[in-house]
Amino acid sequence: MTGRTLLSVLAFGALAACQSAGQMDQNPPTWISLYQASWEPMANCIVARSQRPLLTVTPTFSSGRASVVVKNAAGGVMGTFDIRQVNARDTEVAYRSIYGGPNSGAGGDARDIADRCARP
């Protein structure tokens, strides 16, 4: 990738990611999965695995739930994880992204993170 192409991709990413977390919540989830895992360790693992250079990961915890917002360096929301306890042994994870569906790079990477976090 040339320098000019990389700058174009980064500029597009910054412009496309100008949604707030509240705006992102209005969109349908990119994917939803149910895991046999406790919600709190699952949420902590998703936070840890989502940490990458040039990204800010902000978790918010409440009773039986967590919201994890992933932002780019410009502050635009790239994606959100909504994690909630369904029952004593199951956790639902819903992911929303500005970049396409579950088989896109962003959606697939996020699902891979959640899948890995659900493994003992």
- Angle, CA 94 vertex, CA 115 and CA 41 arms, to 5°: 50
pLDDT per residue rounded down to tens, the chain (120 residues)? 444 443 334 444 444 445 566 666 677 899 999 999 999 999 999 999 999 999 999 999 999 999 999 999 999 899 999 999 999 999 999 999 887 666 665 667 899 999 999 997
Q: For the chain, what is the domain count? A: 1
CATH number of the CATH domain containing 78: 3.30.310
Q: What are residue 58's phi and psi, to 5 degrees?
A: -120, 110
pLDDT for residue 28: 86
* Range(s) of the domain holding residue 7: 3-118
pLDDT for residue 92: 98
Distance (Å, rounded) from C-alpha 50 to C-alpha 63?
A: 22
The pTM score is 0.78
